[in-house]
């Protein structure tokens, strides 16, 4: 959706509730990719990746975010 003519940049329809979290989320994405053996594209375009690769990355990130939230709610922030 909206990929053509954007020089490899994807358009985003989702906005962060806390924009200051951008750097932390990027770091989480890089850590997840490293653990899963998925290379993050330098230009941000994921169109050449399989659904399995992007799905595993997104699933891992979601799992990690849930773990962080559970830790925070229980008062065990690391």
State the angle between helix axes of 51-74 and 22-36 in degrees (0 to 180), rounded to the nearest 10.
120
In a domain, 30, yes or no: yes
Spatial distance between the Cα atoms of 35 and 16, rounded to a whole number of angstroms: 24
pLDDT score of 21: 85
pLDDT score of 5: 46
Q: Is the pTM of this model over 0.75?
A: no
In a domain, 26, yes or no: yes
Give the range of the structural domain holding residue 56, as residue numbers without chain letter: 21-39+46-74
In a domain, 14, yes or no: no
pLDDT string in tens for the chain (78-residue length): 444 444 455 556 677 788 888 888 889 989 999 998 888 888 888 888 899 988 999 999 999 999 999 999 998 665
pLDDT score of 9: 55
In a domain, 16, yes or no: no
The domain tally of the chain equals 1
In a domain, 66, yes or no: yes
In a domain, 67, yes or no: yes
The token pair that represents 1 in the structure block: 């959706």
């Amino acid at each position: 959706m909206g990929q053509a003519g954007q020089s490899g940049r994807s358009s985003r329809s989702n906005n962060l509730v806390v924009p200051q979290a951008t750097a932390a989320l990027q770091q989480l994405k890089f850590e997840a990719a490293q653990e899963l053996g998925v290379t993050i594209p330098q230009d941000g375009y994921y169109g050449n990746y399989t659904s399995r690769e992007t799905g595993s990355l997104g699933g891992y990130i979601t799992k990690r975010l849930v773990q962080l939230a559970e830790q925070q709610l229980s008062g065990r922030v690391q």
